[in-house]
Amino acid sequence: MAGVRQSRTIRHSQARTLRLQDRDRWIIEGLGKMRFLTTTQLARLVFGGSRWAANKRLRKLLDAGLIRSWVRDLAEDNVYSLDRKGLGVLDDPDLGMNHTVARGLDGNLTHLLSINQVRIAFALGLPAVGGELSLWRSDWELQAESRARLIPDALFAIRWEQGEAQSFALEVDNHTKSVRAFVKKILAYASVTTRGLYGFTDFVTLVIGRDPEWLERYRSALANLGLGARIWFALLSDLEEGWAGATIWRTAEGDGQHSLRTLATLPYSEEDHAAESATPSGT
């Protein structure tokens, strides 16, 4: 007789107390920082991509009351968030104070998961090219501290092995399909780049999209308005495949592609930027 399949969201009432391992703490910390993560994202972040290992451990954390599990569709990954007991495990008191137990899935879950996908790609890929994420603040964290009109999807900083750091603003387009709204937000970025945004100054803006056609429309709109300086574009699929070291970043005006390491150190005067945009390939 076949065994009864375990529910993907319901805890086993007879589960024993769990002895936390390092990976358990990494999972809890990841959920504390990113709020919601899928099985695939947690497998990539903590288990070297093994979904089998991720599923096995996540089930134990669920049964122990440390995390919650959500099912959007039977054909899709589970989504996980912290439960109250998991919040209590976090070492960082700020994370504990600024987080609450989710009563339901985020209304913009797909967009939030896309932002987290970018964050994971950078966190895992940067060490191979001599960099690390030294700071990351997602839109929901920025919204909690300010009512400013301009709220990026994320603001983050990368520190390179030579010691220098570079700040970035992130826009992840998740089928918005509104060129007008996109241009309006980029114009707002242009007005604050040098004077600063949430304490970040002289930042470079990265635009990451899922749809190649719409990403090209955004690039074309900025090129026509001459708003390409400090704005770089890439596909989410290219970032996932090539990680942080790939030459996937393009400006609005040019077809030359650069790595994240290269574009972070380019000169951004109008003359120098125009010359870089005309370069047929990047390092």
pLDDT tens-digit series, residues 198-226: 888 888 899 999 899 989 999 998 888 87
Q: Which pLDDT value is given to residue 93?
A: 63
Looking at the chain, how many residues does it have?
283
pLDDT, tens digit, 9 for 90 and up, residues 251-267: 888 777 888 888 777 77
Which residues make beta-bridge pairs with 18?
none
Looking at residue 167, the DSSP 8-state letter turns out to be: E
Task: Report the sign of the C-alpha dihedral through residues 60, 62, 65, 66, in that order.
Answer: positive
Handedness of CA 107, 109, 110, 111 (dihedral sign): positive
Residue-wise pLDDT for 27-62, tens only, equals 999 999 999 999 999 999 999 999 999 999 999 999
Measured in degrees and rounded to the nearest 5, phi and psi for residue 160 equal -95, 165
Residue 205's SS3 state is strand
**Residue 158 pLDDT:** 93
Structure-derived torsion over alpha carbons of residues 233, 48, 31, 207, reported in degrees to the nearest 10: 0
Whether 280 has a pLDDT exceeding 60, the answer reads no
Which residues touch 234 (CB under 8 Å, ≥6 apart)? 206, 207, 208, 209, 248, 249, 250
Q: Taking the model in full, what pTM does it have?
A: 0.84
